[in-house]
Structure 1
């Protein structure tokens, strides 16, 4: 079944987060993508509110910690007002990240994000990613 025009628009908007915002570093586009009352549910970092919350707790830490950050979209499923993305995060830990000083180590992690769109913006997201893998790969402590 072919995607409808609203589904294609929703997919384009959801893909802008990993591609245009996270990979390209376009912080100004955050306000265009997220609704003012946006909520992200993320068990690794807690609940995030609004475009500023996304900028402060997701965008800035990752862009500061990994200057060559790349978030590649591997799969997309769009239906109605929902879009699911499966992504792969990669980069070099060359800046401070969540209290961890730069290690110069490469990072690769997988994740999923379910987006609910309303009024042409992302209203809500549920995010799961390999947070333990990120911590292990950015840590200087030996792993088991």
Structure 2
């Protein structure tokens, strides 16, 4: 394993500690002050640690016990492509859907760009469709009747 790969994988491990704990002290270690976070909901990217805390706040408001697990990481230069498993209990409003108490098990595919050991950009693609289906916000049609 190259030094760059080892370094970025270690930084991703620390980032995982941050998102699972919400500890801003750890966040300051891994998020660059002017980092940009592109979210799938549209609009301009969220900026810096405050922007990422908004993302975590939205997710933790809906799923207070949410946890991310890094399943796979591909390192290329200054970028890491990460596949996360996500689990939690829907206990608060999630994008307009009131709490259901249902468990979710989902995933996210995110692309991170690093500079000097910190995240400077993230393009996050959580499986919002799958999360909505699991909490009953949308119906998944079954096979047509025979």
Assess same fold via TM > 0.5. Answer: yes
Q: Which runs of 5+ in 1 are unaligned?
A: none
Aligned length: 140
**118-127 vs 26-35, which moves further:** 26-35
| 1:49 to 2:59 alignment | no
Larger Rg: 2
Q: CA deviation at 1:32?
A: 2.1
1:19-58 → structure 2 map (5 Å cutoff): 19-46=16-43, 47-56=45-54, 58=55
1:70-109 → structure 2 map (5 Å cutoff): 70-109=67-106
Coordinate RMSD, CA, aligned:
2.0
Normalising by the residue count of structure 1, what TM-score does the alignment of the two structures yield?
0.84
Distance 1:107 1:61, change over 3 A: same
Distance 1:139 1:16, change over 3 A: farther
| 1:3 to 2:5 alignment | no
Counterpart CA distance in 2 for 1:62 and 1:21 is: 14
Normalising by the residue count of structure 2, what TM-score does the alignment of the two structures yield?
0.83
Counterpart CA distance in 2 for 1:9 and 1:110 is: 24
Secondary structure in structure 2 of the residue aligned to 1:122: strand
